[in-house]
């Protein structure tokens, strides 16, 4: 492995930021249907801040949990509302989950995805079916755990993770929002993909291509 | 007009063609056989045959008269719009899901509860579908029970009603036993129960029970069912399935994690209608999904938006071939399944409201840079109210009371989004809140300024967070509380939930916090200022929250400074009762009424919950949402005072004006704080803030 784990994790965040940037307008459009049309902008702001803050880390010294904790702080300060605390908590829980890991292997990746999903769930006090980002993250975490247990290859692992997240995000189309702003439009949220779930897929796809290729 | 058309139409061929129509119309009919035929048909209620005799023409000619009259616009047939919509939706549901029948009750009938109306419709369907000798399986639920309550005896014989599942605790009034019994009684059928619990302790026990001769016999009856009536349960957080006692919470979580979205006759299904397996499968005594699907007539009766995902799943899974629901739910199901074009078809009716050419898309506002409104406002606030508040560490997003926090006193931190001024910063000062965290418009502040507030407010005895119950605020304040605790500051939180229109009383904790914040902050601030312990401050603040009741009414929407556009719409003659301070939907949208009628509707709602008796005291807050003037607020107050006086409830204190606004929304809210001795004392405790001074 040419790069250390912290560097790979920082590249992952750069990949996420690039992907979110590319999908920014699309995400805001999705949000316009059921919210205030700022989800793309919000996510973009958050990950640009993360990227900037990570650039300040000494990657020869930093541990992967430092990378996650830094991302948490940066995201929270850049983004208010509810997306801020949700992702900040996700990154913070991931930092705790990888505190004793040195390798960014599939087990660590599964732990990160799982910690992020459960962090969001605890912070948002939500569950599957609420038409939120949890509808992408929780299936992704399950898929990661299953793929790991079945000793799948890195390709298989990431394929399963992304496919589950996509299926989960698509399923939000037939759900009614109860959480956050979208809850205000109740039945009008039907037929629309939840923008938070859609951005989760963008993030997980970027994680997959970044972490899988570098392995 | 001559009558030549009648003989030239193909419908007028045959006998009538041999008769000269002009001879067939007596003079007394005038020269218009169309109008006369229509009169006899629509007004006198004659049949086409009777009209033919009366007019001396053939029945076919009458038929063509009536058809022509419609084409010529002599007769306008109009259907009541709500009924038309429900019919359109029913037809579309039937077509889209291949149902054998579908009954959709109109949605905009506020006269009776939905469950009742579904019950009536379900009873109608039973009347049409159930025949002598049938065996009807009946599941359980509130809606099924309602069908039983509305079903009527029919002249049918030899019918059997059989319970579709085992029984449950009788802690609720719509158990499988009661539902089956009620329907059997109503339609005069023999009732066969399933005399075992719906969920038993183990798979082994279930097998033992199913081997019992009595249960074998009962299940044999169930297997003969040729029709089934069932409700569909949602698994959403507030659905009755969680409180019905049918399933335990732990098992529900297992099924949720496996993707379950609904329950059909005690069995779990996922969004595509596939069975979801879980820990209860081999412990459930009742009809299986496979057996259910083989029954000929499968009548599902269910409605309400929260059931859309579950209903959609049941339809996709083929468990339903007769659906009884309401228009809004039906519409939601179609939309969720990607059916488009329905809205266009339903809106082909001419719209009453035309957009005038002078219609404006933007609202005028005093602005410099729309992206800087919050900063500029805060700059003004800090300058204006320097006697009461000052920035913490130079930040305008965290403001502290000038002579508020002191050692030995519990600190009170409030906060939330902007756009509600004078909420929240107008209530910071000695005797009230010690610090306020300020977010963007309608958007929670992040944890950082909240933590700064907690630190600034802390006097070593702990800090109380009091803020409105909104998802974003809860998350940010909770994170801030965790960080403050790490810094050694003890934090307690009271969420305000005074908006009684935002959620039913059973979901009291899910309600929003609105203008009643004013009272709750005041009580909390006084308790802190009197040097009470953190426990005591928290307790009395909770009491104040429980005894504060608010209902708002919006007349016109508000416009965000960044867009200067309305962020939702209210029709030209409409109002929305119960609308939240960010435009959240209320209870009903209806035609605007006289002020006293609106006030009465609000007060009736408040009286329903406030258990005040003659001689009790209250504080009243009439709050403008932003654009409603004092003149109108006094008109509302007048009626509130009359209503309270009629109950001999005394108004201890009142506030009328802008106390918790929603930008420039037109509308107002009425808040009542039901006082007791302790709250009265705290209400009168002195305070010095920009918007409330009590000496």
The distance of B475 to chain A (nearest Cα, Å) reads 6
Q: What are phi and psi of B666, to 5 degrees?
A: -90, 125
8 Å CB contact between B665 and B627 = yes
Q: Find chain A residues with C-beta within 8 A of B472's C-beta.
A: 80-82, 85, 180
Nearest by Cα to B655 from B627, B618, B689, B610: B618
B96 is annotated as an active-site residue? no
The CA-based dihedral angle spanning residues B669, B674, B679, B684, taken in that order and rounded to the nearest 10 degrees: 50
Which tokens in the block code for residue B213?
């001769």
H helices of B25-80, in order, are 33-38, 48-55, 59-72
Query: Residue A1: pLDDT above 60?
Result: no
pTM of the model: 0.62
Count A/B contacts: CB-CB distance under 8 Å: 101
The CB density around residue B31, as the number of other CB atoms within 10 Å, is 12
Catalytic choice (B150, B420, B566, B674) = B420
Mean pLDDT of B502-525: 92
Q: What is the pLDDT of residue B526?
A: 98
Query: Residue B108: pLDDT above 70?
Result: no
B1 Cβ partners below 8 Å, 6+ apart? B31, B32
d(CA B684, CA A133): 46
8 Å CB contact between B337 and B312 = yes
Across the interface, whether the CB atoms of A190 and B446 are under 8 A apart is answered no
The CA-based dihedral angle spanning residues A166, A185, B473, B672, taken in that order and rounded to the nearest 10 degrees: -160
Digit-coded pLDDT (tens) for B81-101 = 666 677 888 888 888 888 888
Q: Residues 319 to 338 of B: which have CB under 8 A from any A CB?
A: 328, 331-332, 335-338
Distance between the two ends of chain A, CA-based, in angstroms?
Answer: 7
Asked if B235 is an interface residue toward chain A (Cβ–Cβ < 8 A), one would say yes
Per-residue 3-state assignment (H helix, E strand, C coil) for B269-285: EECCCCECCCCCHHHEC
Across the interface, whether the CB atoms of B471 and A123 are under 8 A apart is answered no
Query: Quick one: DSSP state of residue A188?
Result: G
Give whichever of A23-37, B366-380, B429-443 has the largest mean pLDDT: B429-443
B582 is annotated as an active-site residue? yes
Class of residue B133 by CB neighbours under 10 A (exposed 0-12, middle 13-18, buried 19+):
exposed
Query: Residue A152: pLDDT above 90?
Result: yes
Is beta strand B260-264 parallel, antiparallel or unpaired with respect to B232-234?
antiparallel
Question: In Å, what is the CA distance from B484 to each residue of B238, B406, B473?
Answer: 32, 18, 16
Across the interface, whether the CB atoms of A191 and B271 are under 8 A apart is answered no
State the average pLDDT for chain B: 87
Class of residue B223 by CB neighbours under 10 A (exposed 0-12, middle 13-18, buried 19+):
middle
Digit-coded pLDDT (tens) for B642-685 = 999 999 999 999 999 999 999 999 999 999 999 999 999 999 99
Query: Quick one: DSSP state of residue B41?
Result: I
Please tell me which residue, B522 or B348, carries the higher pLDDT value: B522
Mean pLDDT of B298-326: 92
Q: Half-sphere exposure (CA, 13 Å, Cβ side) for B598?
A: 28
d(CA B123, CA B143): 11
Share of chain A above pLDDT 90, in %: 62
Q: Is B655 helix (H, G, I), strand (E, B) or coil?
A: strand
Interface probe for B, chosen from A96, A176, A185, A196 (most Cβ of B below 10 Å), is: A176
8 Å CB contact between B675 and B616 = yes
Mean pLDDT of B195-223: 93
Asked if B510 is an interface residue toward chain A (Cβ–Cβ < 8 A), one would say no
8 Å CB contact between B568 and B693 = no
The distance of B99 to chain A (nearest Cα, Å) reads 20
Nearest by Cα to B534 from B429, B452, B413: B413
The CB density around residue A170, as the number of other CB atoms within 10 Å, is 16
Mean pLDDT of B127-137: 90
Asked if B236 is an interface residue toward chain A (Cβ–Cβ < 8 A), one would say yes
Confidence of residue A175 (pLDDT cuts 50, 70, 90): confident
Query: Residue B351: pLDDT above 70?
Result: no
Among chain A, residues having any CB pair with chain B shorter than 8 Å are 36, 76-77, 79-82, 84-86, 88-89, 123-124, 127-130, 138, 142, 171, 173-176, 178-180, 183-187, 190-191
Digit-coded pLDDT (tens) for B144-183 = 999 999 998 777 889 999 999 999 877 778 899 999 999 9
The CA-based dihedral angle spanning residues B89, B90, B91, B97, taken in that order and rounded to the nearest 10 degrees: 100
Rounded to the nearest angstrom, the gap between the alpha carbon of residue B50 and the centroid of all alpha carbons in its chain is: 50
A44 Cβ partners below 8 Å, 6+ apart? A17, A20, A21, A24
d(CA A215, CA B312): 42
Question: In Å, what is the CA distance from B41 to each residue of A135, B58, B318?
Answer: 59, 15, 44
The distance of A80 to chain B (nearest Cα, Å) reads 5
């Amino acid at each position: 492995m040419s790069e250390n784990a912290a560097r790979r994790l920082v590249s992952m965040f750069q990949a996420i930021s690039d992907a979110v940037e590319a999908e920014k307008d699309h995400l805001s459009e999705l949000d316009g249907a059921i919210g205030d049309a700022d989800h793309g902008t919000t996510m973009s702001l958050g990950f640009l801040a993360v990227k900037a803050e990570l650039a300040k880390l000494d990657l020869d010294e930093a541990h992967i949990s430092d990378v996650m904790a830094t991302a948490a702080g940066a995201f929270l300060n850049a983004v208010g509302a509810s997306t801020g605390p949700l992702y900040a908590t996700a990154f913070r829980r991931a930092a705790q989950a990888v505190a004793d890991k040195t390798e960014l292997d599939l087990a660590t990746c599964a732990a990160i995805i799982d910690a992020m999903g459960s962090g969001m769930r605890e912070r948002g006090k939500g569950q599957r079916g609420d038409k939120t980002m949890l509808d992408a993250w929780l299936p992704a975490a399950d898929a990661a755990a299953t793929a790991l247990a079945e000793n799948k290859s890195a390709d298989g692992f990431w394929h399963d993770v992304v496919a589950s997240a996509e299926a989960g995000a698509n399923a939000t189309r037939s759900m009614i929002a109860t959480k956050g702003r979208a809850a205000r439009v109740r039945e009008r949220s039907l037929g629309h993909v939840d923008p938070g779930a859609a951005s989760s897929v963008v993030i997980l796809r970027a994680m997959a291509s970044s972490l899988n290729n570098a392995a | 007009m001559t009558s030549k058309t009648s003989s030239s139409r193909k419908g007028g061929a045959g006998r009538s063609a041999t008769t000269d129509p002009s001879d067939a119309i007596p003079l007394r009919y005038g020269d218009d056989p169309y109008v006369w035929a229509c009169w006899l048909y629509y007004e006198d209620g004659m049949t086409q045959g009777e009209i033919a005799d009366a007019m001396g023409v053939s029945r076919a000619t009458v038929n063509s008269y009536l058809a022509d009259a419609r084409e010529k616009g002599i007769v306008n047939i109009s259907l009541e719009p709500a009924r038309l919509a429900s019919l359109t939706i029913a037809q579309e549901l039937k077509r889209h899901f291949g149902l054998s029948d579908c009954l959709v009750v109109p949605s905009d009938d506020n006269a009776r509860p939905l469950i009742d109306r579904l019950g009536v419709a379900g009873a109608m369907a039973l009347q049409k579908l159930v025949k002598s000798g049938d065996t009807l399986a009946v599941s359980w639920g509130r809606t099924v029970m309602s069908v039983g309550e509305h079903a009527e005896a029919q002249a049918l014989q030899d019918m059997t009603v059989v319970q579709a599942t085992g029984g449950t605790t009788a802690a609720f009034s719509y158990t499988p036993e009661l539902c089956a019994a009620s329907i059997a009684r109503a339609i005069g059928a023999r009732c066969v129960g399933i005399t075992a619990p719906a969920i038993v302790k183990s798979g082994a026990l279930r097998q033992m029970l199913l081997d019992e001769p009595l249960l074998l016999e009962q299940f044999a009856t169930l297997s003969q069912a040729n029709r089934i009536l069932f409700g569909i349960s949602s698994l959403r957080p507030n659905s009755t399935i969680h409180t019905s006692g049918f399933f335990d919470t732990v098992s529900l979580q297992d099924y949720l994690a496996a993707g379950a979205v609904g329950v059909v006759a005690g069995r779990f299904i996922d969004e595509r209608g596939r069975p979801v397996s879980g820990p209860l499968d081999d412990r459930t005594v009742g009809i299986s999904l496979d057996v259910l699907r083989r029954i000929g007539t499968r009548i599902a009766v269910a409605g309400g938006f929260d059931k859309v995902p579950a209903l959609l799943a049941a339809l996709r899974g083929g468990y339903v071939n007769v659906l009884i629901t309401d228009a809004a739910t039906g519409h939601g199901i179609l939309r969720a399944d990607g059916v488009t074009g329905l809205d266009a078809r339903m809106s082909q009716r001419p719209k009453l409201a035309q957009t005038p050419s002078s219609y404006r898309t933007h609202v005028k506002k005093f602005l410099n840079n729309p992206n800087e409104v919050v900063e500029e406002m805060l700059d003004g606030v800090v300058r204006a109210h320097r006697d009461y508040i000052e920035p913490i560490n130079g930040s305008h997003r965290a403001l502290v009371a000038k002579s508020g926090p002191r050692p030995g006193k519990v600190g009170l931190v409030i906060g939330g989004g902007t756009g509600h001024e004078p909420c929240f910063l107008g209530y910071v000062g000695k005797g009230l809140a010690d610090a306020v965290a300020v977010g963007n418009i309608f958007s929670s502040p992040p944890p950082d300024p909240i933590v700064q507030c907690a630190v600034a407010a802390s006097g070593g005895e702990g800090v109380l967070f009091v803020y409105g119950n909104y998802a974003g605020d809860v998350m940010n304040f909770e994170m801030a509380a965790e960080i403050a605790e790490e810094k050694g500051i003890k934090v307690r939180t009271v969420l305000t939930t005074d908006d009684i229109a935002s959620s039913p009383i059973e979901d009291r904790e899910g309600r929003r916090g609105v203008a009643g914040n004013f009272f709750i902050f005041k009580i909390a601030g006084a308790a802190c200022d009197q040097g009470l312990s953190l426990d005591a401050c928290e307790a009395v603040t909770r009491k104040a929250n429980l005894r504060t009741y608010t209902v708002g009414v919006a007349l016109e929407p508000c416009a965000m400074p960044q867009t200067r556009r309305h962020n939702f719409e209210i029709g030209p003659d409409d109002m929305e009762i119960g609308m939240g301070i960010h435009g959240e939907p209320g209870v009903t949208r209806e035609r605007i009424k006289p002020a006293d009628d609106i006030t009465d509707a609000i007060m009736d709602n408040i009286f329903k919950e406030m258990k005040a008796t003659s001689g009790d005291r209250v504080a009243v807050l009439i709050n403008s949402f932003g654009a409603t003037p004092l003149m109108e607020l006094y008109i509302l107050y007048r009626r509130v005072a009359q209503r309270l006086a009629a109950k001999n409830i005394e108004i201890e204190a009142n506030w009328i004006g802008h106390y918790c606004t929603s930008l420039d929304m037109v509308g107002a809210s009425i808040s009542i704080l039901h006082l007791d001795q302790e709250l009265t004392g705290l209400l009168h405790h002195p305070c010095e803030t920009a918007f409330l001074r009590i000496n």
